[in-house]
With several copies, the nearest count.
Chain A
Amino acid sequence: MKKLINAVEDVVKESLAGFCSAHSDIVRLGEAAPFVLRRHLKRGKVALVSGGGSGHEPLHGGFVGEGMLDAAVPGQVFTSPTPDLIIAAIEAADTGGGVLLIVKNYEGDVMNFDMAREMSGKSVATVITDDDVAVETSTYSTGRRGVAGTLIVEKILGAAAEQGRSLAELKALGDRVNAATRSIGIALTSCTVPAAGKPTFELGDDEMEVGVGIHGEPGRRRVKLRPAKEIAAEMVGAITADLGARARGDVILLINGFGGTPLSELYLMYNDVRHGVEAAGGTVARSLVGNFVTSLDMAGCSATVSLLDEELRRLWDAPVHTAALRWGI
């Protein structure tokens, strides 16, 4: 394992310290526990708190700041944070307007955030994101994972919260954005969890995994590595099939790198995915390309399509000032 680290057990703590000191104009380190807190909280606003295992940087800490999250709680790498940390973040972020938790649909995250909500005794609601079309939906199963689309939910909710909307309104809006958002990911390599010391899975030199999540876990199937155009076509196909006729409108297109893929390849994929989305009748009204919801050093990317209406477009365009996403301020 080749990583720029000191000791395996200190990775999350030291990286968090670096993050908070590099962005001390926007965030500060929680006092009661190690979480990321927005430096200038807005009195009375509903507080948005997210979190989950580390290893997805800049998610979620990179999205704390004006117009987006109020706190982010990192767990160990790929391990949900524990309820005590989440409770500490809820308490620090709440300024009287209540708290909305934004949780990716992984059982660990859902259960730990649920326990925190139950124990906190505050006015807390939860939006669960589950945008990953690679997983078959079924009321019987765990359901879909929350992946890169989470950033779109967080951005739009952040803007809406800044407008002073109520907890119930935000919860409804978050559910609506999540329902309008679909993602699918592919990986060319796995990643190496520091504590494990070796890659989570091994892929042949000519293989890729289709339908991966963001934890370096294997995907739904392993296929031969194919040209970008064919990969893009499969991704667009999976997403548009799932969206159905709704895909024929304005959308945000997010091409998200998993951490080990150069930006040049992400733009190349954007080029092919965009053509696919437009061929399917969609209009790419807003774009985002980069490493936002990563899986440590995994090579690969995901495509996310999120349907836009006038309200959502305005909220997406609203000013945001975080470490990883910034415009209008």
Chain B
Amino acid sequence: MMIDRDIRKRLIVAVANRIIAGAEELTDLDRAIGDGDHGSNMRRGFEAVLAAADVLSDKSFGEYLTAVGMTLVMKVGGASGPLYGTLFLSLGKSLADDVSREQVADAFAAAIEAVKARGKSDVGHKTMLDVFHPVLGALRGGGDGLPERLKATARRAAEDTIPMKAIRGRASFLGERSVGHMDPGARSSELIVDAVADVMEGCA
């Protein structure tokens, strides 16, 4: 599949708008088990990405992903900034404009490892990783209606963080009291996956 300038631009617009529209909800989730800034953090980062959409989209897919990652690192702050930043920086390392589903899945798997290393965290710790990991599974599975399946997987995965006890992130300071709330970073990951899947559908 060819990720041309039009798709690159559409990806930014879709993801950024989804995050910006969801910012208040993300902040509300973070107020419950964090410090109430995940929405503002993510909005700040993706507003910067959106503002640079044209310049970014002119770049090759790899450079584009790297630049998005760098923008997030420099704009988001908090825990989510280095983590989402690391994710995109890692994706940018290996993806070319013309990519197969397998290549994307491999790059995503490597990016997840990079996030784990940066966050000293793992699946089951009630973080964004708990969305990335099942989404990677769905991506590897491939097949018809993949976009829909990615969305459903992400949605379920975010919900599955509700009963978890947090091991990483601010929510871990709450111990047992972190149980019963959705992880804000899991929800923002779901929003990103959802927006990407929308663009995939539009291209299909």
Contact = CB atoms under 8 A, between A and B. Distances in A.
Interface of A: 53, 75-84, 106-108, 111-112, 114-115, 134-136, 140-142, 145, 193, 195-196, 198, 200-201, 213, 215-221
Given A83-B74, A217-B35, A111 B170 contact: no
B184 interface: no
Given A135-B175, A196-B40, 4 more contacts: A79-B40, A79-B78, A111-B83, A195-B37
25 contacts: A53-B35, A53-B37, A53-B78, A76-B40, A77-B37, A78-B35, A78-B36, A78-B78, A79-B41, A79-B78, A82-B74, A106-B170, A107-B168, A108-B79, A108-B80, A111-B83, A111-B119, A112-B77, A115-B73, A135-B173, A141-B168, A142-B167, A196-B27, A215-B35, A219-B174
Chain B, interface residues (CB within 8 Å), range: 20 to 34
B92 interface: no
B170 A215 contact: yes
Contact of B76 (A82, A107, A136, A141): A82
Contact of B169 (A53, A107, A140, A201): A107
Contacts of B167: 140-142
A217 B40 CA distance: 16
A217 B174 contact: yes
A193 B74 contact: no
B101 interface: no
Overall SS of chain B's interface: helix
Contacts of A81: 77
A196 B37 CA distance: 7
A50 B88 CA distance: 27
Interface string B16-29: 00000000000100
Contacts of B44: 76
B36 A200 contact: yes
B81 A108 contact: yes
B118 interface: yes
Given A196-B27, A201-B31, A217-B173, A79 B37 contact: yes
Nearest to A107: B79
A1 B78 CA distance: 23
B147 interface: no
Contacts of B79: 80, 106-108, 111
Contacts of A219: 174
Interface in B34-50: 34-37, 40-41, 44
Nearest to A221: B177
B177 A112 contact: no
A215 B171 CA distance: 12
B122 to A, nearest CB: 10
Nearest to B31: A200
B60 interface: no
Nearest to B45: A82
B6 to A, nearest CB: 30
A193 B35 contact: yes
A112 B82 contact: yes
Contacts of A215: 34-35, 170
Contact of B36 (A82, A216, A220): A216
B133 interface: no
B30 to A, nearest CB: 9
A220 B180 CA distance: 15
Contacts of A53: 35, 37, 77-78
Name the residue in B37, B80, B168 with the highest tally of chain A Cβ atoms < 10 Å from its Cβ: B37
Interface in B168-188: 168-170, 172-175, 177
A83 B36 CA distance: 21
Contacts of A220: 173-175, 177
B8 interface: no
A221 B176 CA distance: 9
B75 interface: yes
